[in-house]
């Protein structure tokens, strides 16, 4: 009777009060070749994905950020204070008619950007000199005057009183002025035909000083 009872219990867990006996289930606990293959494949996939992510992160750290994607621009990088010279730039501004414009529109021609304001006496004093040089270099060098941190009415009145005829625009909040690293007024920036900032000058300029600066920076005469 006891032998029959033992055989009947061979495929079942031992009773709680009994002593555990070896069963055929111990054989099933060994991993099968198929299971080993599946686990190995999953581990390999995880390692491959992790390696790919690491390479992608490394490459993205080396890529320069873009300020825009216009045809006027090469590989642009973020502009920080004091780092504007030598960088290609396409800077937006608004016209006195309220239209949007961009310095990239002058690509192919060296550009003089002069920041002025009615509340800045040195700005007012130098503007006729800029007009004089503009007339002399017309077709060779482009000029863009930017009314900075003043009302449209004040800017228009100053343009009329100084008699300038070159292109003008507005920078009512001073954002464009700050981008060019302006620290005082007047400020003048030179941008070459490729859209790269060549130099920035703070302070008034005479006609002779401006002409000499253009020759040195753009190779003009």
Q: What is the pLDDT of residues 195-217, one digit of tens each?
A: 999 999 999 999 999 999 999 99
Domain annotation covers residue 195: yes
Check residues 35 and 181 and name the one with the higher pLDDT: 181
The C-alpha atoms of residue 14 and residue 169 are separated, in whole angstroms, by 93
Show the DSSP H helices in 70-180 as ranges.
121-136, 152-162, 175-179
Q: Are 95 and 101 in contact (CB under 8 A)?
A: yes
> How much is the pLDDT for 43?
45
Contacts of 187 by beta carbon, 8 Å cutoff, 6+ apart: 114, 115, 177, 180, 200, 201, 202
Residue 47 has pLDDT above 50, yes or no: no
Same domain for 187 and 130: yes
Residue 104 tokens read as 């990239």
Domain annotation covers residue 78: no
Same domain for 97 and 58: no
> How much is the pLDDT for 124?
98
> How much is the pLDDT for 83?
72
Residue 135 tokens read as 């007339």
Predicted confidence band at 220 (pLDDT cuts at 50, 70, 90)? confident
The alpha carbons of the chain give a radius of gyration, in whole angstroms, of: 37
pTM of the model: 0.65
Percent with pLDDT over 90 in the chain: 59
Domain annotation covers residue 85: no
Q: Are 107 and 194 in contact (CB under 8 A)?
A: yes
Same domain for 144 and 56: no
User: 139 is in which domain, residue-wise?
Assistant: 92-218
Q: For the segment 68-126, what is each residue's pLDDT rounded down to a tens digit? A: 333 333 333 344 445 789 999 999 999 999 999 999 999 999 999 999 999 999 999 99
Residue (of 110, 115, 114, 102) closest to 72 by Cα position: 102
Element (H, E) at 207: helix 207-218
CATH number at residue 192: 3.40.30.10
């Amino acid at each position: 009777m006891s032998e029959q009872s033992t055989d009947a219990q061979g495929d079942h867990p031992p009773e709680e009060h009994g002593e555990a006996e070896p069963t055929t289930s111990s054989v099933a606990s060994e991993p099968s070749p198929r299971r080993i293959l599946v686990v190995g494949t999953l581990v390999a996939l995880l390692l491959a994905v992790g390696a790919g992510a690491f390479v992608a992160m490394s490459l993205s750290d080396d890529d320069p950020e873009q300020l825009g994607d216009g045809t006027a621009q090469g590989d642009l990088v973020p502009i920080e204070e004091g780092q504007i010279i030598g960088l290609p730039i396409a800077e937006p501004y608004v016209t006195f008619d309220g239209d949007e414009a961009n310095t990239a529109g002058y690509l192919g021609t060296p550009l003089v950007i002069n920041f002025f304001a009615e509340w800045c006496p040195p700005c007012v004093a130098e503007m006729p000199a800029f007009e004089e040089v503009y007339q002399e270099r017309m077709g060779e060098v482009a000029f863009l005057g930017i009314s900075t941190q003043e009302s449209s009415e004040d800017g228009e009145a100053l343009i009329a009183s100084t008699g300038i005829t070159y292109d003008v625009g507005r920078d009512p909040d001073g954002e464009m002025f700050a981008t060019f690293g302006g620290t005082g007024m007047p400020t003048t920036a030179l941008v070459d035909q490729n859209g790269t900032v060549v130099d920035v000058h703070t302070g008034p300029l005479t006609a002779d000083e401006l002409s000499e600066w253009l020759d040195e920076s753009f190779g003009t005469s």
